[in-house]
A and B are shown apart, each in its own frame.
Chain A
Amino acid sequence: AQKVTQAQTEISVVEKEDVTLDCVYETRDTTYYLFWYKQPPSGELVFLIRRNSFDEQNEISGRYSWNFQKSTSSFNFTITASQVVDSAVYFCALSGRGSGNTGKLIFGQGTTLQVKP
């Protein structure tokens, strides 16, 4: 079975602080993809990153960075120098080559990030 766990339900930080959102996944597939999405109050999901299981390189995009570690089945997301506009719900998701190869996404429970001015 596939599962994604985001243990942090809510995080509150003050602007300019760094914050890390944790994501732990479970899968038996050897080939899989991991994603992070942002959901602002408007409700629309915003794609942030996709990482395949063969690429463990960390990635940085502006203030965002991701740490993928297969050894611990984790795909953590760090926002550096957080801003109020970063306030949203963040979802980690997994898509495996199993399950008939439909590409369906399994979402974690989401982490609500509140950045205070």
Chain B
Amino acid sequence: GAVVSQHPSRVICKSGTSVKIECRSLDFQATTMFWYRQFPKKSLMLMATSNEGSKATYEQGVEKDKFLINHASLTLSTLTVTSAHPEDSSFYICSARRWGQGYEQYFGPGTRLTVT
């Protein structure tokens, strides 16, 4: 159990368009989901913490109007990159924390975004 999926796995979009990435916990309820960003050969940087039914908490330096996060249900969180630019190209990874299971996080397979 504890499987997290992300869709799409890869996406290429044109500069100025918006892209939505979905993160789903397939076999458990996730009260908290996290969104990370990873540049090539770099570490994972936490972008925001998403709690079901409430507004996301963004890390310092992350533009909330550019990276819209919605956690509409206990199994789904979405990240929308609005008006994407080439510098937004990156590997985006989500993780989900299972209700009542302490600090264990289960990671999705990641989404590679390329903005042309």
**Residues of chain A whose beta carbon lies under 8 Å from any beta carbon of chain B:** 33, 37, 42-45, 47, 50, 91, 95, 100, 102-110, 112
| Nearest CB in chain B: distance from A37 CB, A | 8
**Residues of chain B whose beta carbon lies under 8 Å from any beta carbon of chain A:** 32, 34, 41-46, 49, 57, 91, 93, 95, 97, 102-110, 112
Contact B109 A105 (CB under 8 A): no
Complex Cα gap A102–B32 (Å) = 8
Complex Cα gap A62–B52 (Å) = 38
| Nearest CB in chain B: distance from A12 CB, A | 15
Complex Cα gap A95–B35 (Å) = 15
Contact B43 A103 (CB under 8 A): no
Nearest 9 A/B pairs, CB to CB: A45-B107, A44-B109, A43-B110, A33-B103, A107-B44, A103-B103, A107-B43, A95-B103, A109-B43
Question: Secondary structure of the B side of the interface?
Answer: strand
Of all chain B residues, the one with the shortest Cβ separation from A97 is B103
Task: Choose from B34, B41, B107 the contact partner of A44 (Cβ within 8 Å).
Answer: B107
Task: Choose from A50, A100, A105, A110 the contact partner of B34 (Cβ within 8 Å).
Answer: A105
**A104 partner residues in chain B, CB cutoff 8 A:** 34, 46, 49
Known: A43-B91, A45-B93, A50-B103. A105 touches B112 (CB 8 A): no
| Nearest CB in chain A: distance from B28 CB, A | 15
**B108 partner residues in chain A, CB cutoff 8 A:** 44
**B41 partner residues in chain A, CB cutoff 8 A:** 112
**B42 partner residues in chain A, CB cutoff 8 A:** 109-110
| Pairs A–B under 8 Å by Cβ, sample size 10 | A43-B91, A43-B112, A44-B107, A45-B95, A45-B107, A47-B104, A103-B103, A107-B43, A107-B44, A107-B45
Contact B57 A105 (CB under 8 A): no
Contact A103 B107 (CB under 8 A): no
